[in-house]
Amino acid sequence: MFRRHAGTFAAAALLLLSVPSPVAAFVAIPPAFRASSTSPRVLLAEPSSASPEEAAEKRRKVLENMAANPKLYELHPNVRKAIFTNKENRRRAKESKRRREPASVKKRRLLLQYKQSAAATKRAAYIERAVPREEQFPLESLSRGDAVNAERNATVISLTPFGAYVDIGCEIDGLLHVRDMSASDFISHPRELFTSGDKVDLDLLVKYVDPAGRRLAFSAVPLEDESAEEEEDRIRVEDVHLHDELWGEIAKVTAYGAFVEIGTEVEGFLHFMDHPDHPLYRGEPPRTFMAVGERVRVWAADVDVERNRIKLTAVRPTALPLLGRL
């Protein structure tokens, strides 16, 4: 109703600024607003002990508010008062508006909250490196078998499902793979031992250095003697393809399977359920039918170049063609 009378009411109200007359104000207000103590009629024409200047300023603010929020004054005065005079009601009104917001608006709001939370988490997780960047030493100064002593102040920078990246003051971070964290225990995830920012209290050795490829790896397990030529002859992970047939030697047995040395940069993992003798020893630990030094024929079941992992199986894949009779 106020919308129909908006033009008449606004014109009449502006004239009332210089004539503080309750009667004139009552005539200018549409009938829909003449029934409550919170209606514009009362706000404009109610007698007050304030000076004429203060009353005129109050009327001006009320008129500006009504002109800026016409839909608000279409509500019943009691409803408007209940919404805007109680903090709890205002909070409920905001929650109701949020529940009724379109799915697209909600998606954008939640995405913004997620980005803000991720940025705050990243700032809180900032880790101070061992040495400033300008004091870092070159990768070429390291070689296989070098010990990372306590003076290096090795610090865990980040964790991944397959290992931890450690800063020792070198120009790049080195990878400490989960299989190289312990010689006896099986580590399923590096968070079992480390969190970001921890100081590494293990005796680390440089396991692999590739200045050309900008790669560095550490090990907490004693290294086997290996010549430089043998190290260069190792097969890169990206050169291994799915279902490739390989021969290897079991290097370490864990509670979930065995790591097999197959001549690649990293050892492949053979799960105990993928061993051909598993059905014969069902329920027995893997050490019952898997032994260190045993030679096995395996196939590449999965090759993950990004995570630097090779999963093996000792059961011939069914995807391979059948062997014909000789």
My answer on whether 225 and 251 are in the same domain is no
pTM above 0.95, yes or no: no
Q: Are strands 257-261 and 268-271 parallel, antiparallel or unpaired?
A: antiparallel
Tell whether 105 is covered by a domain.
no
Q: How many domains does the chain have?
A: 3
| Average pLDDT score, the chain | 75
Could you tell me what percent of the chain has a pLDDT over 90?
4
Tell whether 127 is covered by a domain.
no
pLDDT number for residue 25: 43
CA dist., res. 138 & res. 63, Å (int): 73
- Condensed to tens digits (0 to 9), the pLDDT of residues 110-169 reads 899 999 888 877 766 566 676 777 778 888 888 888 887 656 678 888 888 788 888 888
Specify the CATH number for the domain of residue 221: 2.40.50.140
Contact 191, 158 (CB under 8 A): no
- Calculate mean pLDDT across residues 208-221: 83
- Condensed to tens digits (0 to 9), the pLDDT of residues 27-76 reads 444 444 444 444 554 455 455 566 888 888 887 877 777 677 666 667 77
pLDDT number for residue 28: 44
My answer on whether 222 and 253 are in the same domain is no
My answer on whether 159 and 227 are in the same domain is yes
My answer on whether 243 and 222 are in the same domain is no
What are the C-alpha distances in Å from 309 to residues 30, 81, 108, 312? 78, 66, 37, 10
My answer on whether 243 and 179 are in the same domain is no
My answer on whether 242 and 197 are in the same domain is no
pLDDT number for residue 35: 43
User: Can you give the residue range of the structural domain that contains 193?
Assistant: 145-231
